[in-house]
Amino acid sequence: MDNPHRSPWTGDEAVDIVAPKAVTKAHPDYSAAKTGDSEAAARLVMDIMDDEWIERHAQAIIAESPILVGVHALEGMSVNMIGSAMDEWLSLQFDLPMDRDIVQINKVGHTGSSGWTRLANQALFEGEVIPGAVYWLLDDFVGQGGTLANLRGHIILGGGRIVGYTALTGRSDSAILGLTGETLKALREKHGQLEKWWKERFGFGFEALTESEARYLHRAEDADIIRNKIAEAKQD
């Protein structure tokens, strides 16, 4: 089974969530953007990432001069156009380069899915990374943060450096991506006997989980429940 590359977190890495889920999903173009309408995606992104948001974030983004990487899949594997619309919009606003080589190569079905489904079906990425270049990652939604973590890992493996993360919407309690030492310690104290199995199955240890993923696993009563839930949620 192919596994993503993940790297341990280096600090309190967090994703900027542009707008609450209720606001984004209520937008008249949201459904069409999620199902392949590129014009709807552009309108959605321009309305949510409005002039006020652009002005508030311009200095931080421009100072880094990053390459923008929106989460998007190989043609035919996904119809969600929002990630591509995000990097095109920010590229236009800040005169920054976009990456089109790095793509998600599998379909994971995370939209509206449970936490177990997100954990069991990891997004995989391929594409050339420029060694030494800095990247800013963009996604339409952050749930547990696993997709961004896997994209981050792919870029770090290729010698790139991540300087920022932005999601159009998402769970506010998932804004912190970088796993805290306190949460990692609590997870290993409760489910440490599971970590070898986890690493064999997914290719990375608990230290590379996101904060949200680790908290989700910590809530499980025992290791057998985790194994069973992962097996049930794995897509063929």
Using alpha carbons, list the distances in angstroms from residue 217 to 109, 114, 198.
Answer: 20, 13, 11
Q: How confident is residue 114, by pLDDT bands cut at 50, 70 and 90?
A: confident
pTM, full prediction: 0.93
pLDDT value, residue 74: 57
Residue 183 resides in a domain: no
Q: Tell me, what DSSP letter sits at residue 75?
A: T
| Residue-level pLDDT at 34 | 85
We report the CATH number of the domain holding residue 156 as 3.40.50
User: What range defines the domain where residue 32 resides?
Assistant: 16-176
pLDDT, averaged across the chain: 92
On whether residue 72 sits in a domain, the answer given is yes
Quote the number of domains for the chain.
1
- Cross-strand bridge partners of residue 125: 104
Q: For residue 110, what pLDDT is reported?
A: 61
**Mean pLDDT, rounded, for 155-162:** 97
Does 165 map to a domain? Answer: yes
* For residues 32-40, average pLDDT: 89
Q: Tokens at residue 19, please? A: 């707008």
Does a structural domain hold residue 85? yes
State mean pLDDT over 75-87: 75
Backbone angles phi, psi at 70, to 5 degrees: -90, 140
Q: Average pLDDT, stretch 49-76?
A: 89
Question: Does 224 reside within a domain?
Answer: no
- How large is the greatest C-alpha to C-alpha distance in the chain, in angstroms? 51
Rg of the Cα atoms in the chain = 17
The Cβ of residue 113 has, within 10 Å, a number of other Cβ atoms equal to 16
Which of 40, 41, 176, 34 lies closest to 110, judged by CA? 34
Is 136 inside any structural domain? Answer: yes
**DSSP type of residue 109:** -
Q: Is residue 170 part of a domain?
A: yes
On whether residue 11 sits in a domain, the answer given is no
Per-residue confidence (pLDDT) for residue 236, from 0 to 100:
57
Task: Average the pLDDT over 29-56 and give the result.
Answer: 93
Q: How confident is the model at residue 79 (pLDDT cuts 50, 70, 90)?
A: low
Question: Tell me, what's the pLDDT at 36?
Answer: 83
Q: For residue 48, what pLDDT band results from cuts at 50, 70 and 90?
A: very high
Check residues 113 and 101 and name the one with the higher pLDDT.
101
* pLDDT one-digit tens code per residue, 185-224: 999 999 999 999 999 999 999 999 999 999 999 999 999 9
pLDDT of residue 81: 84
